[in-house]
Amino acid sequence: METTAVRGRLTWQAATVASVTRETASVVTIELDPPHWPGHRAGQHLDVRLTADDGYTAEREYSIASAPGEPVAITVERLEDGEVSPYLTGELRAGDELELRGPVGGYFVWEPVRAENLVHGSDQQSCSPCHPAVMIIGHVPAVHVPPDHAASRLAAARPA
């Protein structure tokens, strides 16, 4: 039973892009609608695979940026000289399809009681995996968030 579940998570599937939200000039959040998704935990990631018309493929890993129970989403920063991120941040549109597999990773996941420590120690560069943790603990300790950085999603998660 467990082996079947692992095999399912490591099987590529075509997911529809539900939405693409621009966070900053170089960062987008992509919400995905995979037909088979077993759910995810804060701190897990997924693999994305793009295939060109000539069959060339490129795979990259992305932290899952949505909370457990929410539709699966990733937040991607464009690297100007990158191969995959310029496509994901510049060309991908809602309704497109891309291949993914996951969720991947089970050792560095965070439960509510441990997530608070994670947020205290996180920096601006690693905000994507923090967002699900923020959502499950329900509040955010004081963090410095530049207005043009994707980490503004952390601030948005803080209850009034």
Ligand X SMILES: Cc1cc2nc3c(=O)[nH]c(=O)nc-3n(C[C@H](O)[C@H](O)[C@H](O)COP(=O)(O)OP(=O)(O)OC[C@H]3O[C@@H](n4cnc5c(N)ncnc54)[C@H](O)[C@@H]3O)c2cc1C
Quote the least distance from Cβ 153 to ligand X, whole Å.
12
* CA 139/CA 157 separation, integer angstroms: 7
Touching ligand X, residues 22-41 (CB under 6 A)? none
- For residues 65 and 94, give the distance between their C-alpha atoms in angstroms, rounded to a whole number: 17
Of 37 and 103, which has the nearer Cβ to ligand X? Answer: 103
Among 83, 96, 97, 123, binds ligand X (CB under 6 A): 83
Residue with CB nearest ligand X?
A: 82
Is residue 49 within the footprint of ligand X (CB under 6 A)? Answer: no
35 phi/psi in degrees, rounded to 5: -65, -30
Contact region with ligand X (CB under 6 A), list: 81-89, 91-99, 106-114, 117-125: 81-89
Tokens of 121: 């120690």
Residues 97-156 that bind ligand X (CB under 6 A): 128
The answer to whether 119 and 141 have CB atoms below 8 angstroms apart is: yes
Q: Which is nearer to ligand X, 93 or 159 (CB)?
A: 93
Query: Are 128 and 62 within 8 A, CB to CB?
Result: yes
- Closest CB to ligand X among 4 and 91? 91
Q: Which three-class secondary structure state does DSSP give residue 130?
A: helix
Binding site residues, ligand X, CB under 6 A? 45, 60-63, 74-77, 79, 81-85, 128
